[in-house]
Amino acid sequence: MTLHPVARLAAQRIALGLLLLFAASVLIFLGTQILPGDVAQAILGRSATQQSLATLREQLGLNEPALTRYFSWLAGVLHGDLGIALSNGQPIAPALAKRLGNTLFLAGAAAVIAVPLAILLGLISVRYLNRWPDRLISAVTLATISVPEFLLGYIVIFFLAVQYQFLPSLSTVYDGMSFGARLHAIGLPVIVLVLAVLGHMMRMTRAAILNVMQSAYVETAELKGLRPFAIIAKHALPNAVAPVVNVVMLNLAYLVVGVVVVEVVFVYPGMGQYLVDHVAKRDVPVVQACGLVFAAVYIGLNLVADIVSILANPRLRHPR
């Protein structure tokens, strides 16, 4: 039975995504294994005896070959077991799930603001091409892209938390908080994340729509006397969905994976802060688990972008 072109391409993308995730797991494991120093020594300290070090290495499986340890770790991951944290002896999966939920909440709140705003600004920029609204939007978004996130974080803390005290400087969330209280607590990191991704999404949306504006059907709509904004919104934007979706998904992946700096600046209890805390403790299993989750989220969102782009292509949906 011959597969539909859309189904065949989607299956190829999914297979490629799984292969990339496997390759990412290999790189993550190798990266943690080639770190200098002795994990057992780092856990027990310099005063540890040789007997205690040998016992801990045996417990952690450090005496086994790296290939055996990798496949043992991979088998555990496939069964939902991310291992045991060396710093506290607790299972990693429950703590990681809670932190991942916090990170997804933060990234989701930023995306709800950034995505519609970026598309709207892109439409306005195309509507007033090479006029003052276009130049103003381009200048402001280019400035936000150029400023590092940690600096943006300290700027918004100074103005909105210290000077005017609109929002808290520390984004503390905990179980039992109301939805409104959570939104208030994450106000500053959401602002920073929106500013960090807004410019890129807006400029790519603008470029995609401008490319479509050169098409013959757009000229036909102009000859019919349709208003410029209606032409852009009803004719140009729907046909620019594929590149817009790609850039939106890439930035959503960045919101989840790239929040490490923002979470550290605002002491937000998410995946980024969890990773940094355990890197300092040299907790290798936690670092491996965090790296694998970040890789899975990034690859997964890119996979969604690829599939949406395939579905948005009418030539693939309706082959001759």
- C-alpha gyration radius of the chain: 24
Strand partners, 84: 91
Task: Decide if pLDDT at 7 tops 90.
Answer: no
3, exposed or middle or buried, with CB in 10 Å at 0-12, 13-18, 19+? exposed
- Please report the pLDDT score of residue 32 as a whole number: 79
- Token code pair at residue 123: 């439409």
DSSP H/E element including 156: helix 149-156
Q: What is the mean pLDDT of residues 82-94?
A: 83
In this prediction, residue 223 has a pLDDT band, given cuts at 50, 70 and 90, of confident
Comparison of pLDDT for 4 and 199, the residue scoring more: 199
Is residue 272 within 8 A of residue 262, CB to CB? The reply is yes
Comparison of pLDDT for 9 and 97, the residue scoring more: 97
- Residue spans of the domains in the chain: they are 92-317
pLDDT in tens, 264-298: 889 898 888 888 888 877 788 888 899 899 899 88
Whole-angstrom distance, CA of residue 112 vs CA of residue 190: 10
Q: Within 10 A of 36 (CB to CB), how many other CB atoms are there?
A: 4
**CATH 1.10.1040.10 correct for 92-317:** no
- Token code pair at residue 312: 């948005």
- Please report the pLDDT score of residue 22 as a whole number: 92
pTM: 0.83
